[in-house]
Amino acid sequence: MQDVTDLPFWGLMARYGGPDLYFTEYFRIREGFKLEKPVLKSITHNPTGKPAIAQVIGNHVPSLVKAVHELQQHPVAAIDLNLGCPAPVVYRKCAGGGLLREPARVDTILGALREAIKIPFTVKTRIGFDDSSVFDELLALFGKHQIDLLTVHGRTVHEGYRSGVHYDYIARAVNALPCPVLANGNVYSAAKAQAVLGDTGAAGLMIGRGAIRNPWIFHQIRQTQNGETPFIPKGYDVLQYLRDLFETVRPPSLRERSHVQKMKKYFNYIAIGIEPTGDFLHRIRRVTTEDELFTVCEEYLDHDQTMALEPFDLNLKPRDVLAGEHR
């Protein structure tokens, strides 16, 4: 997740159990590009002990080819093409999810990258731009170019995060392709992870927002798969995580007020798992200092009651960034 799941966040996730592999934030590839140093540092200074996959986004074929040649000089386990980003600032430039409107262009990009990439080549996609009828055509292209792994977020670009996840399309990809498929979208607990794996037949899961809210989720999934009772944090465990998060992702030169604002990117996802009324989210969005932030956090979390950290259905305005289906 751009500007959120960066190198410091990787290190924090690893301390809480962490996934089996990490995808970088995307490298923006266009004419005259330079690989962004902070993203590249996730590869060259990877602290997790787990493989890192370099993610690229763009539509200019010569630049994409040049970028993947450069990236293969670094310790990356694979290179991933982003065909799923739903941010308007991205898709309006016909990158990320915007490319799903042009399957012929996707075909050209896949062909060029498959020839240029000598290590595993992976793709993340949504099921279409505003119409999922293109999905079978996309699957045929992924098969044609023999990608090594596909991640499917089970919504269209137009749906963003507001609809439910169409897991049946992920199952369709599993049945159509010889490569492993990862399921993505609304995986918020170990129980939901097991259900999604069972329903889709996917080889694994990609988890983003759910891991921001619950950093123990990867450990909980492994415990469940091993027949163990998963760890459930208590309020003070969550409070300590928030303190760890605040300090870990804090750039040394960033002013306090600016860092508190930056933290709200994380707290938007975290807050919907704290309490059901929306009051915690409302108050966090209005703090301006570290003391104010943790005064609110302590009020809700300084206790020894267990917390599932599963998303509540908050009553949010339709245009709120968190409006939509989280389960």
Q: Which residues are known to be catalytic?
A: 85
Note the residue count of the chain.
327
- CB-count burial class (<10 Å; 0-12, 13-18, 19+) for 279: middle
Q: Which residues of 106-144 are buried (b: 16+ CB within 10 A; e: fewer)?
A: bbebbebbeebbeebbbbbbbbbbeebebbeebbebbee
Amino acid at 203: A
Q: CA gyration radius for the chain?
A: 20
CA distance linking residue 295 with residue 210, whole number of Å: 24
Q: Is 120 helix (H, G, I), strand (E, B) or coil?
A: coil
CA distance linking residue 80 with residue 85, whole number of Å: 13
Helix (H) or strand (E) segment spanning residue 25: strand 22-28
CA distance linking residue 95 with residue 135, whole number of Å: 17
For residue 318, CA distances in Å to 166, 272, 298 come to 21, 15, 29
* Residue among 41, 50, 53, 37 nearest 8 (CA): 41
